[in-house]
Each structure stands twice: as C-alpha cells, then as structure tokens.
A and B are shown apart, each in its own frame.
Chain A
Amino acid sequence: MDIQLKKGLLELMVLASIKYEDSYGYKIIQDISNIIEVSESTLYPILKRLEKQKLVKSYNTTYNSRIRKYYSINGNGQEKLKKAIEDYEEVKRMYAFIKR
C-alpha cells in the first residue's frame, strides 16, 4: 500500500484502538495486527506523532511491579476519528471513480 496513505490510516487505526479504553504499546499492535500487519518500529513514530498533535495523552502506571505506558485519546482525537468516519463516504465515492 502507498506509504503516505498507510501512514494516515494507521494513525486513525491507533486512535480507534484506544477509542473505548486506554491501551499500551503491545496491545495496540496486537489489536491492529488482526487487520493489517504493523511492526513495533512503525508504531512508535505513530504514537509519538499523535502525542505531538495533541490527539492522545500518555501516562505511566505500574503493572506487575514494572512501569507500563498507557495511551488515552482526548477530545481532539475523538474529533479526528469522527471526521475520518465522515470522510469515508467521500473516499468511497472517489474510489468508485478510481476503480471505474
């Protein structure tokens, strides 16, 4: 798949994976990998980018007496997801034309 396109979609997938509950690196990869293959080294920059864009927030908690970093989506992130879902109809129309 086109790298730029995939980048954008993976960002949305990460947001979607924490839409209902906060999650952590390993679990996010597991959840996304069910749909599309994503490597550990791909996820890090995505999380970092989402944080920079202030779409997610991260916090540390202890789990099994070690620290685990959790990611939680914020209002802006939810907004972005909503927007992406709205965009979908448009994307579908565009693809219908591309596929013609």
Chain B
Amino acid sequence: MRRKEFINKLKQELKYYKKIDTQEIVFYYEELIQDAIDEGKNEEVFIANIGSVQNIVKNMVGDDAFIEEVRKSNSNSLAKIVGGTVKIFVLFFYGLAIFITFVIAGSVIISGLAVALQSLIYIYANSLMLSDYVIMAGLIAIGIGIVLIGLAIIKSTFRMSQSIKLYIIRKTKQLFRKKEVTNNE
C-alpha cells in the first residue's frame, strides 16, 4: 500500500469518530511516512509495518479514555469549579424545554378535544341534515387527530428527553471547556 492509499483509508476510518482530531493524526502519519522515505526506507514495507488503520484507531480510542482521566484528575481545573453551576444551568434549561413542550402538547390536546366536543354538542343540540352529519363526523375525526398529535408530542418528548438532556449537557460543557483552554493559554 502506498502513502496516499493508506492516508485515505485512515481518513475513512476516522470519519466514525467525532472526538478524534483527524487532521492532526493524518499529519502525524504523513510526516512519519515521509521521514521514513527520506531515510531511505521502502514506502510499502514501512506502511505495512505500521499496521492496519483499524488497529491504529482502536488503540487511539482506547487511549482517549485515559486522556479524559488525566484531564479530570487535574484538580485545579476550572471545570470543577464551574461544574455545579453548569449542572444548575443544564437542569434549568432542560426543565424549561420540557415544560414548554408539555404546555404546547397540552394545548394541542385541549384544542383537539374542544373541536371534537363542540361537534358532538352541535349534533345533539340541533336536528341536522345528513350532509351536516358528515361534516360533523369529519370535524370529530379532525379533533381526535389533533389530540393524537398532542399525545405523540408528549410521547416523543419522553423518548427524546434523555438525548436532549445529554445534548444540552455536552454543549454546555464544551462551552466551558473552550473557556478553560483559552484561560490556560
């Protein structure tokens, strides 16, 4: 395998790992291979000795956890101090988001019920022609449909709530981490 093919394979493999800095790793291997060639090594042999890209990435992912550990053990980090504040922020926004969704879903359900009930009352209160019945039945169906939409919103909120929470936590953490990095430098 030549350098270009190897690098392409590596890039392809790294695509699946968002946390890894692809560009940096590609530079690292490009430089290594070029240095080896400059030293008079055989390109294909050198690349074969590096091993499979799958193995490279596997090693790295395994090590990422280690990096995270080291980062956490730096007790003077800003992250620890703001940790509590971040949690409160996250919980607040999370609560707010859930609350808003439920209010919307609730009002959708209520309006659906209202349409259906209104139509029912209309049927009982008035003597109607057949064509009116059809229209009322349609309205009831629409009302029920709207109620179902409301219920679906609640259901999907429940299902998504965990991932929403994680998303908010991740984003907030990223925000603070960026701050931390710039503070350190």
* Bound Cα distance from A100 to B66, whole angstroms: 33
Name the interface residues of B1-44: CB closer than 8 Å to any CB of A.
25, 27-29, 31-32, 34-36, 38-39
Asked if B70 lies at the interface with its beta carbon under 8 angstroms from chain A, I say yes
> Do A41 and B67 have beta carbons less than 8 Å apart?
no
Question: What total of chain A residues lie within 8 Å of the partner, measured CB to CB?
Answer: 20
> Do B70 and A25 have beta carbons less than 8 Å apart?
no
* Bound Cα distance from A42 to B63, whole angstroms: 10
Contact of B70 among A29, A41, A42, A49 (CB under 8 A): A49
* Bound Cα distance from A83 to B32, whole angstroms: 31
The list of the 5 closest CB pairs from A to B, nearest first, reads A26-B35, A45-B63, A41-B56, A40-B50, A41-B59
| CB-CB under 8 A for A49 and B28, given A26-B36, A41-B55 | no
| CB-CB under 8 A for A44 and B39, given A49-B63, A49-B70, A52-B70 | no
Contact of B59 among A25, A29, A42 (CB under 8 A): A42
* Bound Cα distance from A39 to B29, whole angstroms: 12
Smallest CB gap from B73: residue in A: A53
> Which of A14-22, A66-74, A88-96 sits within the interface?
A66-74
Smallest CB gap from B55: residue in A: A41
Residues of A within 8 A of B38 (CB): 64
Smallest CB gap from A48: residue in B: B67
Residues of A within 8 A of B29 (CB): 40
25 contacts between A and B (CB under 8 A): A24-B31, A24-B35, A25-B28, A25-B31, A25-B35, A26-B31, A26-B36, A39-B51, A40-B32, A40-B51, A41-B51, A41-B56, A41-B59, A41-B60, A42-B59, A48-B63, A48-B67, A49-B63, A49-B67, A52-B70, A66-B34, A67-B31, A68-B31, A68-B35, A69-B31
Q: Give chain B's interface residues, CB within 8 Å of chain A.
A: 25, 27-29, 31-32, 34-36, 38-39, 49-51, 55-56, 59-60, 63, 66-67, 70-71
16 further contact pairs, Cβ within 8 A, besides A52-B71, A66-B31: A24-B35, A26-B32, A26-B39, A40-B29, A41-B51, A41-B60, A44-B28, A45-B59, A45-B66, A48-B67, A49-B63, A49-B67, A64-B38, A66-B34, A69-B27, A69-B31
Residues of A within 8 A of B25 (CB): 44
Residues of A within 8 A of B32 (CB): 25-26, 29, 40
* Bound Cα distance from A53 to B51, whole angstroms: 28
| Nearest CB on B from A82, distance (A) | 20
> Do B31 and A52 have beta carbons less than 8 Å apart?
no
